[in-house]
Amino acid sequence: MKMIFKSHLLLVLPVCILSLAACNQPAKQSSTSTMTDSTTQATLPAAKGFEQTIDGKQTHYYILKNKNGVQASFTDYGAHLVGLLVPDKAGKLTDVVIGFDSIAGYKASLSAYFGATIGRYGNRIAKGHFVLDGRRYDLFINNKPNTLHGGQKGFNDVVWDAKQISDTTITFTYLSKDGEEGYPGNLDCKVTFELTNDNAVKISYEATTDKHTIINLTNHSYFNLNGAGSGTILDHTVQMDASTYTPIDSTSIPTGKIEPVAGTPFDFTKPATIGSRINDKNEQLKNGTGYDHNFVLDKHDISTPIATVIGDKTGIEMQIFTTEPGLQFYSGNFMKGANTIHGGAKDELRTAFAMETQHYPDSPNKPQFPSTELKPGETYKTVTIYKFSAK
C-alpha cells in the first residue's frame, strides 16, 4: 500500500523591514542580537559569525522578511532557524527563538539542537536499533541507552544546500546517503521555510528514498515568548488539543501505551501555565525530569491550531498547526546555563521550551504507532505552522 506522509509547519510572525541580499545569496547584516531592557528593540545576529568552512563546504547566513516587518534568519549549517523577530503587545520587536550569534555557538551546544532541522529520525529510537524487512539496523547510541535525533552526526550537524527563492522563502536540500548513521537508503530531503504575509513561518518537508527506510523530520526551535534572555518560561500559558499522550519509561522511551491526560499534570486541554503542575509528584514528570513527552493530537489537518502558547510578559501568542499526529512538548529540563545565547544571556534551566511536531518516538519498534516507513516511489510530505500575534 502506497503511503504518503503529509504534514505542514508554519510559523506566523510580524517582521522588521530589512534590506536583503539578492535571491539565492546569503544575507549581509552588521547588527547583533540584543535584549538589554524593556525599551530595546531586538535585532538579528550579524552574518559574520555564520561564514566559515565545515566539511569542505562554505556556510552562509540568510534573512527573510515579510511586508509587516517580521524577520527570520537562517544558516545552511544544520538548516537552523537562528532568530525570529516578532512584535509584542507594545509593538516592540522581540526575538522569540533562543539561539546563538555564531556557528561556533551551535557547535558547542550540539546536544541541545537549538533551532535545528532534525533527521533522519526526530526523537528517540530504543536501544539504537530497529528491524525492517527482516533486517536489523544498528544506529549510534548518543543518548544512552538510545539513539536521539538522528545519531552521532544528525541533520543538525551537516551543511545543507540553500537557495533563497525570494524575500520570504528559502529552501534547504540535503542528500543523506545510504548507510549514513546506520539508516538504509539514499534519502533526498528538501525543507522549505516561508515567512508569510499573515505573519507565519511555514516549514514544508519533502523526501524520497531509493530503499525502504524510516523517516521522522522536525524542527527543534527553542522558544521564549518573552524574548531571549528574559528568564523562565514557567509562567507561559499552554493549551493543547490533545486528550491523550504516550507515557515513557525511565529512559524516555514510550511504553507503547496511549493514555488519557485527564486528571494528570499532562492535561492542557484547557489553558494552564507550564509551571503550575511541573513539580507535582508524578512518575511521568520524574521520568522526563519535567515535560518531555509526546502528545497525541486530536486533529492534525492544519485547519485549526493544535496548540497555543502565550508569553506572560509580552502578550505574544504562538499558535501551532500541523499535519503530524504528535507534538513533543519539552520544558527545557536539561538547560544548565552552559551556553551564551542571543544578547549575552545564559541558557538557564527552563528559560525556553520546544514544541516539536512529529510522528511518535520509537515508532519503528512500536507497530501500534503511526508508521514512519518510506518506500521507493513514495513521497514523504509534512507541513507545520507556527503563527504569532500579540494581545
Q: Tens digit of pLDDT for each residue in 344-360?
A: 999 999 999 999 999 99
Q: Which residues pair with 239 in a beta bridge?
A: 308
Measured in degrees and rounded to the nearest 5, phi and psi for residue 323 equal: -100, 5
- Kindly report, residue by residue over 133-168, the tens digit of the pLDDT: 999 999 999 999 999 999 999 999 999 999 999 999
- Taking 3-state DSSP, the helix, strand and coil percentages for the chain, each rounded to the nearest 5, stand at 10, 40, 55
pLDDT of residue 391: 87
Does residue 355 lie in a domain region? yes
DSSP assignment of 238-260 equals: EEES-SEEE-B-TTS-B-S--EE
| Beta pairing partners, 200 | 12, 387
CA distance 94 to 90: 10
Let me know if residue 2 belongs to a domain.
no
Render pLDDT for 95-138 as a digit per residue (tens, 0 to 9). Answer: 999 999 999 999 999 999 999 999 999 999 999 999 999 999 99
* 235-281: pLDDT as tens digits: 999 999 999 999 999 999 999 999 999 999 999 999 999 999 999 99
Catalytic residue among 180, 194, 324, 356: 356
Do 382 and 359 contact (CB within 8 A), yes or no?
A: no
Determine the pLDDT at residue 26: 56
Give the three-state DSSP class for 108. helix
Does 387 have pLDDT greater than 80? yes
Terminal-residue alpha carbon distance, the chain? 47
Please check whether residue 304 lies inside any domain of the structure. yes
Question: 299 burial class (0-12, 13-18, 19+ CB within 10 angstroms)?
Answer: middle
Grid cell, residue 1, equals 500500500
Furthest CA-CA distance within the chain = 61
Contacts of 155 (CB under 8 A, 6+ apart): 78, 79, 116, 117, 118, 119, 120, 174, 176, 189, 217
Q: Is residue 100 part of a domain?
A: yes
Report yes or no on 20 lying in a domain: yes
| 356 included as an active-site residue | yes
242 C-beta neighbours (distance < 10 Å), count: 23
Would you state the cell numbers that stand for residue 44, as one nine-digit string?
538579528
**Is the residue at 3 inside a domain?**
no
**Catalytic member of 220, 236, 293, 359:** 220
Does position 1 have pLDDT exceeding 90, yes or no? Answer: no
C-alpha cell at 358: 512529529
- Residue 40 pLDDT level (bands cut at 50, 70, 90): confident
The three cell numbers of residue 13 are: 510572525
Domain enclosing residue 161, as ranges: 8-390
Sorting pLDDT into bands at 50, 70 and 90, what band is 343? confident
**Domain-embedded: residue 255:** yes
The number of distinct structural domains making up the chain is 1
Quote the mean pLDDT of the chain.
91
> Domain containing 170 — which CATH number?
2.70.98.10
Three-state SS for 65? strand
Distance CA 109, CA 103 (A): 10
**In the annotation, is 60 catalytic?**
no
Q: Is residue 270 in some structural domain?
A: yes
